[in-house]
Amino acid sequence: MWNNEKQLLLEIRTKSLKKAEERVEELSQKNLALNTQNIQLKENNVAQRKLISKIIKLAQSNTYNNNEIRLNKIKELVTDFQSNN
């Protein structure tokens, strides 16, 4: 009788451990996917910061006092950025 109880407890423990291991594997895969996504988002943020910086520089520089030239250049930068992403 005592051995049967021990055997049953051992089987329950083994099943619980297997489920826990499967859950750990599932969460590890999700974590990896999220890390990859995070890296991509960081790269996008860097690209957007560079674009914004270029736009700010253009907006602040008014060498020829021609707003149309600056507006066209900003449109060009935005179009280039959109075509690359």
Continuous H helices in the chain: 2-60, 67-84
User: Which residues, other chains included, contact 55 with Cβ-Cβ below 8 Å and sequence gap of 6+?
Assistant: 74, 77, 78
For 18-32, 35-49, 70-84, which range has the lowest pLDDT when averaged over its residues?
A: 70-84
Query: At CB < 8 A and 24+ separation, what contacts does 14-21 make?
Result: none
Q: How much is the pTM?
A: 0.59
Q: Which stretch, 29-33, 45-49, 62-66, 71-75, has highest mean pLDDT?
A: 29-33
The Cα diameter of the chain in Å comes to 97
Highest mean pLDDT among 15-19, 63-67, 81-85: 15-19
